[in-house]
Structure 1
Amino acid sequence: MRTKEFNEDEALEKAMQLFWLKGYNGTSMQDLLDGLGLSRSTLYRAYIDKHSLFLKALGHYQQFSSSEIKKVINEGDTAKETVKKLLEFIAEVVVQDQQHKGCFMLNSEIELSLHDKVVHDMVVNSDQDIEDVFYHVLTKGQKRGEISKAEDARAMAKFFLNTAKGIRATAKSNPDKKVFKDIIALAIKALN
């Protein structure tokens, strides 16, 4: 059995960064060859085509993003505090990005999901995962009496998912920390 000629994790990370910065359509095969430092034959042997590599890179991003969000869940004591920390984490990630790339998943949704069923399904699954995180935190808060049961937890989870996506979209053109601080403060008031 032949061993791989490259480190796949490193290649996926590099591909992810290229697609994230330039988008799917803006990233040429030559960009990928140069950025990954692979020969054309190695790239095609490993990934078949540009689309397959893109999907693997997007999956790599989704896996990393999910694990980071799950870490944040364990940091908050109360449900309100956890929701606030999740939104602050999302804002901090996009504010710190000097290239203002926004969110790779959201960028892919805007660029491709109307025409690419696989990307569409990945975006829907990613959104559902994040919504479920918020839902879990909110229902736990309702059970402990920290959050009123007057509002449906699933509807609130959708609201917070939408808020998170709005933060990620806004950061592409306005990565001002104060803007997100205000948005997060107002969103948390919805839990009162």
Structure 2
Amino acid sequence: MARPAEFDRSEVLNKAMEVFWRTGYNATSVTDLVHATSLKPGSLYGAFNSKRGLFLEVIDNYANRSLTRISECMEQSDSAIDAIAHFFSRICKEIECDEIGRGCLMVNTLLELATEDDDIRIKITEYLNRIEHYFYLSLENARLQGEIKSDTDCDSLAKMLMTGIWGLRVMSTTRPDPVIYTGIIGHLLASLERAKY
């Protein structure tokens, strides 16, 4: 009978995430993960089967946090437009605090592995589509409640907001002046204001 894992799985995932996030999937070695998690190679393989298996679970963990964050933002206000604005304000603060320019783990991974690993590409794309769907539902709710114009193309507007997030996350890896972020977010949110009239 196999012995139960004698470690905190969530803690291991968080430590592994930091390594993958900092160095990327391909540049991360099993030795790096062993040092970061304090697990022996046998325990690491026993729990996650492979570096790839661990990475897939890290992606699930990271993505679910992102989905929880946007869900919380969307539920904090009766105004869908205000909720979206709050979410972008939160993103801006996160980027400004990202002193080493890590960007977004999911976006980074797509840029690194999209042409190499279809399973990872599909998994991350599905998560990003779910985030976009939150925007769509919020915008559609705003349209039905008369907060924005009745002829607003909520699908295209949601896609534009997601494109903005992608751009911000990639740009953040170059660590530009924070004023640039606020300016871009201001233009994105201005599109929501224009939808009101």
Cα distance in 2, alignment partners of residues 174 and 81 from structure 1? 27
| TM-superposition CA deviations, 1:52-105 (whole Å, max 9, x none) | 111111111011111111111122332221121121222222221222110000
Cα distance in 1, alignment partners of residues 83 and 179 from structure 2? 20
Q: Determine helix, strand or coil for the equivalent of 1:24.
A: coil
Residue pair 2:99, 2:175 contacting (<8 A) in 1 also = no
Cα distance in 1, alignment partners of residues 90 and 135 from structure 2? 14
Gaps of 5+ in 2: none
CA-atom RMSD in angstroms: 1.3
Once the two structures are superposed, the pairs formed by residues 44-63 of structure 1 within 5 Å of their partners are: 44-63=45-64
Alignment coverage as a number of residue pairs: 192
After TM superposition, the score normalised by the length of structure 1 is 0.95
Tell me how far 1:174 sits from its aligned partner: 2.6
After TM superposition, the score normalised by the length of structure 2 is 0.92
Residue pair 1:12, 1:56 contacting (<8 A) in 2 also = yes
Mark the CA change 1:5 to 1:175 in structure 2 (over 3 Å): closer, same or farther. farther
Once the two structures are superposed, the pairs formed by residues 1-192 of structure 1 within 5 Å of their partners are: 2-191=3-192, 192=194
| TM-superposition CA deviations, 1:94-129 (whole Å, max 9, x none) | 221222110000000100122111111112111111
Gaps of 5+ in 1: none
Q: Which runs of 4+ in 1 moved over 2 A?
A: 174-177
Aligned residues: percent identity?
30
